[in-house]
Amino acid sequence: MTTTELDLFNWQKWKFHENDYWIDSFVDTLKRIDYRSTSKAEFIKQYEAKNIPVMITHVTDLWKANKHWTDEYLLKHYGSHLFKVGDDDDNKNVYMKMKHFLHYSSHDGLKDDSPLYIFDSGFYKTSRSKKKKNSLLDDYQVPKYFEEDLFKLTGERRPPYRWLVIGGARSGTGIHKDPLGTSAWNSLVRGHKRWCLFPPNTPKELYDPPMKPYDHEGISWFDQVYPRFKKRLADGQTLGEKWGMVEVLQKPGETIFVPGGWPHVVMNLDLTAAVTQNFCSSTNAEYVYLSTRHSRPKLGQKLYREIQKLGKYEPEKYAHVAKSLETTQYIPQLPPSSSSGSSSTSSSSSSSSSSSSSAENNRPSAKRKRKFIMVSSTDSETDREDGTCMCKKCKFKRKRKMARRNAAAD
């Protein structure tokens, strides 16, 4: 592990904290449905099967997180635990202790252009590590709409799929599509999040152009790209209206459903705490498989085999899913579900390989590391068709081995 100091000027250079990024509620036109009165079958028929985003109210009403995910509770019970806040310039995970993160969020983070952001897929390991009576995993329940979890069939090859998300104003996730064709849900316990979503047919060059400073970060997108979608065209429409851009103001207690293939960008408007998960279900299994077999061939093969087994063991429930995957064998491979970058929702996440959640790539760069940040190596989740492991550890080992060979040759 290494630690380095931070150049405060670089973190607060653009003075984004002086701008107002809040939106009025009337701008948010996303439909709301009541979790208490909308059945799972109705949700699947009206929204998941049609690949339509929707906001769900009252999902979190009985969650322990409503009481537990406060600064006081987190500081008391998890103050010394490390949580991921980004990747450095060497693609290593960057961690902070919760107590240092909370102090940062209430001090320097209030003025940083793009603040650090906890977006941690290993939070369940942290909460279980010392056998706590109350775990972060115990603080929430997966909504009934999203209980099906076909990716668990892949065992050890399973990519990260759930994240604890905590961050202050202006932190967020850059524009991206969720990995491997998965859909996602994001439940907000405290604070407010601002979203923009685009239908899958929206040209990438429109929603994801080069951005300076901090390419591919949420704050850069809302500061530079969003205004373009509000300009009127010759026909009187805005560019956003033409392409069906959906604006959302997510409030505490609300859960958003983001269908697979929808590019989206998220920015926190104040200090937020949320949990998000990506999923593969019977409804989206075909699209997930087609996306996965391109980006992660071995994982795609494993998913295919296991679903075929399910089709035999539980034909009433899964025979049609197995058959739909079988019929895709002659369909050309789909391009990666997330172009240059990946999660879900990160301080400054950049788009990365489609195999990891967009939000998994939280920046800061090495030049921006604070003295309380810890850095360690990390794995990615991509492998090549020839079987070569493309995790960051293995790539580093191969690079070092090649350097030794070259040195010996000289």
**pLDDT value at 369 more than 50:** no
pLDDT tens for 307-316 read 999 999 999 9
Tens-digit pLDDT profile for residues 243-257: 999 999 999 999 999
Instruction: Report residue 363's pLDDT band, with 50, 70 and 90 as the boundaries.
Output: very low
Residues 6+ apart with CB under 8 A from 236: none
Q: Please give the CATH architecture assigned to the domain spanning 16-126+133-279.
A: Sandwich (2.60)
Structural element, H or E, at residue 289? helix 285-295
pLDDT at 192 over 70: yes
Strands (E), 62-202: 82-87, 93-97, 117-120, 162-167, 172-176, 183-190, 193-197
pLDDT at residue number 385: 38
| Dihedral, CA of residue 94, residue 96, residue 101 and residue 103, to nearest 10 | -130
In angstroms, rounded to a whole number, what is the distance separating the alpha carbons of residues 87 and 365?
Answer: 7
- Residue 53 and residue 263 in contact, taking contact as beta carbons nearer than 8 Å: no
Provide the residue ranges of all domains of the chain, joining segments of one domain with +.
Answer: 16-126+133-279, 284-329
How far apart are the C-alpha atoms of 222 and 230, rounded to whole Å?
Answer: 11
Q: H/E/C letters for each residue in 326-358?
A: HHHHHCCCCCCCCCCCCCCCCCCECCCCCCCCH
Q: Mind listing the pLDDT tens digit for each residue in 20-70? A: 999 988 899 999 999 999 999 999 999 999 999 999 999 999 999 999 999
3-state class of 10 per DSSP?
A: helix
> pTM higher than 0.85, yes or no?
no
pLDDT tier, 294 (very low <50, low <70, confident <90, very high otherwise)? confident
> What's the chain's average pLDDT?
84
* Maximum alpha-carbon separation in the chain: 72
pLDDT in tens, 127-151: 555 555 558 999 999 999 999 999 9
Asked if the peptide bond before residue 332 counts as cis, ω within 30 degrees of 0, the response is: no
Under the banding of pLDDT at 50, 70 and 90, the label for residue 401 is low
Coil, strand, or helix at residue 189? strand
Residues of the chain with pLDDT > 70: what percent? 77
3-state secondary structure of 230: coil
Could you tell me what percent of the chain has a pLDDT over 90?
67
- The larger pLDDT score, comparing residue 381 to residue 294, is at 294
- What's the angle, vertex CA 268, arms to CA 23 and CA 148, rounded to 5? 110
